[in-house]
Structure 1
Amino acid sequence: MSASSIQKDIDERTNLTGSNKFEMLLFRLGLSAGSERSELFGINVFKIREIVAMPPVTAMAGAPQHVLGVVNLRGQVIPVIDLPAVVGCTPQTGLNIMLVTEYARTTQAFAAESVEDIVRLDWNQILSADGTVARGYVTSIARLDGDQNSTRLAQILDVESILQRVLPNEAVEVKAETVGPTVAIKPGSVVVAADDSFVARSMIEQELRVLDLPFLMGKTGQEAWNKLLEIAADCEAQGIPMHDKVAVVLTDLEMPEMDGFTLTRNIKKDPRMRGLPVVIHSSLTGDTNENHVRSAGADAYVAKFAAKELADVLRSVLARYGHLPA
């Protein structure tokens, strides 16, 4: 499948958020270390701005490891990351394709060997991956044929982890002087959080600790939903409102089993969870994605990962819903 035809599909198919489904670009990076196979990798179409044939790259003195250099793409200078080198693959035909992506309001490009296809999947076809897979750079595994016994798999890359390790961003550092004073919520209540990225979970947990906010952390939307259902049942049995136990839900959008859109809609439809605020915390940025967040009923949106912005939004939402002391 040509890059131009895949680009056309991307342009036509970025409005799929209604039913726990998403579309994934499949691509190859070359032979895996110690293997004679070229494995399939995937990335959410939402994150792809465009796909182009690899242009000339200008090397930069002192560039971080795995950064090939920069390219000038219609007046915008963006870094190009050697994705096969990051995950330990060896291209057989060269770095032929450049995937231009948008994460957390920044633009970067990833060099790849070839693109394959775009497939439509349900998030329940996605399974969490073990942290040892591809040096911890794989967040989940996709069963492409929808069959639990299928052997046709694709590895979904944890691009947040890759970017943070290759191009560290000082803005993500969680410091007390940056995020501000601790936040006091009703005793016995917690923040329920969910994110499938190991790096993202680590940063969220660090920030919540600095803010002195107790939390329950999950890796998927389904884990968070199961925990909320359990808390809802306990609150119902005790005859107390759920907001006595849960102050806010902080969720990613892209997660195995159940995405953040579906989790948000489930919360907003359940009468037991009335008054439970939801904050979306995602690397999917841009007007289109932020409009989708609002349509799902979320109370706020924060782009990953800006420590002060996240703290400010949490304070604002908690105050709006009366979870902070007067």
Structure 2
Amino acid sequence: MDNFQKDIDERANLALSNKFELLLFRLGNDVTDGKAELFGINVFKLREIVPMPTITKAAGMKSPLLGVARIRDQIIPVIDLPAVAGCTPSTGLNLLLVTEYARSTQAFAVEAVDNIVRLDWSQVHAADAGVSNRNITSIARLNSDEHGGDLALVLDVEQILYDIIPTVRSVQADEIKARTFKMTPGAVAIVAEDSKVARSMLEQGLKGIGIPALMHTTGLEAWEKIKVMAQQAQAEGVPITDKIGLVLTDLEMPEMDGFTLTRNIKLDPTLKRIPVVIHSSLSGSANEEHVRKVGANGYVAKFEINELSSVIHQVLEQMEG
């Protein structure tokens, strides 16, 4: 187990080269076809792996919530991940993956941990077209063979938490503080976010604060759109900020992560004036340091619309000055 507890700063440094580490684990056999799929989660979101402790089930808790566990003097909700994924473990729920997403800590019960692999984000592809499970955000190819080799299903933890743990289910327009944003009329926000539920909430939130947005599933998809709009701006003889008023990007995304997308923008002389805000469930000082290294203008943890609105407002004010 100690092999999995590595220095988090080393993992954070991978982000500067569009790489990351994926924890591979197993949940048992699929209840429909009997297959034993391999699943993955970004190690950066993992706080620790612990043997299954005593679980206390509170009144009214229903599957897939197993109950709560006391881990390091913290009471943490425990989620039955095989039940979420539609799997049946053959040896039981043996381990807890304790994870941190933005402002929440929770534990996922799994059957077994397999390995940690170091991948390039280009080896990860959006799952929207090929996987029907709403809890899968992408598919990771574990080797360089484009036509074969092992695959891992990367979980959309934000979707899982949204479905299971009571939270704000939508962005309420009457709760958004009124602000004015210094964007050129006609300019749009380019948004890159692979989680379906996070993308939907961002779309609602930006609409609520009056910022038109073009939504993208991967950093590479957003980057290609930015380059097309830059060519349009050049052809029309206008600054790129007349077309793109803001880029709002997640960090973890298939094909190209948010750090790489931000660095590409900030190293291009024709694009560097575009304000970039990183919006991520990955929190902590290591990430914030990398945000500064790649030149992002702002950073905000998911998901509170007024906090996001405030950061966008500050960034646009600074870029105007």
- 1:114 corresponds to: 112
SS, match of residue 271 in structure 1: coil
TM-score (norm 2): 0.95
SS, match of residue 37 in structure 1? coil
Residue pair 2:69, 2:76 contacting (<8 A) in 1 also: yes
Question: How big is each residue's C-alpha offset from its partner over 1:300-325, in whole Å with a ceiling of 9 and x where there is no partner?
Answer: 111011111111111111222229xx
CA distance in 2, matches of 1:183, 1:231: 24
1:246 aligns with 2:232: no
Match 2:292 to one of 271, 294, 302: 294
- For structure 1, which segment, 32-41 or 52-61, has the greater mean C-alpha deviation from structure 2 after superposition? 32-41
Matches within 5 A, 1:115-130: 115-130=113-128
2:139 to 141, 145, 151: 141
Distance in 1 separating the partners of 2:54 and 2:211: 48
Corresponding position of 1:38: 36
For structure 1, the 5+ residue unaligned runs are none
The residue aligned with 2:159 is 161
- Normalised by the size of structure 1, how large is the TM-score? 0.94
In structure 2, the residue matched to 1:224 is 222
What letter corresponds to residue 263 of structure 1 in structure 2? L
Distance 2:286 2:255 in 1: 23
Q: Distance in 2 between matches of 1:64 and 1:310?
A: 33
**Residues 61-140 of structure 1 correspond to what in structure 2 (within 5 A)?**
61-130=59-128, 133=131, 135-140=133-138
Determine the C-alpha separation between the residues in 1 that align with 2:8 and 2:142.
Answer: 18
Residue 239 of structure 1: CA displacement? 1.6
Distance verdict in 2 for CA 1:274–1:293, change over 3 Å:
closer
* In 2: Cα distance, 1:199 partner to 1:269 partner: 31
Aligned partner letter, 1:65:
S
Tell me how far apart the structure 1 counterparts of residues 13 and 95 of structure 2 sit (CA, whole Å).
24
Describe the superposition over 1:145-184 as per-residue Cα deviations: whole angstroms up to 9, x where unpaired. 12111241000000000001100322x6412232222645
- Match in the other structure for 2:51: 53
Q: Is the 8 A contact 1:87 1:134 kept in 2?
A: no
Identity %: 56
Q: 1:305 aligns with which of 300, 303, 306?
A: 303
Q: 2:175 aligns with which of 159, 171, 178?
A: 178
Q: Give the length in aligned residue pairs.
A: 320
User: Which residue in 1 is equivalent to 2:265?
Assistant: 267
1:12 to 1:259, Cα distance in 2 relative to 1, 3 A: closer
Cα pair distance change 1:11/1:5, threshold 3 Å = farther
How far has the Cα of 1:265 moved from its partner? 0.2
Q: Secondary structure at the match of 2:320?
A: coil
Change (3 A) 1:100 1:233: same
User: How many angstroms apart in 1 are the aligned matches of 2:22 and 2:278?
Assistant: 21
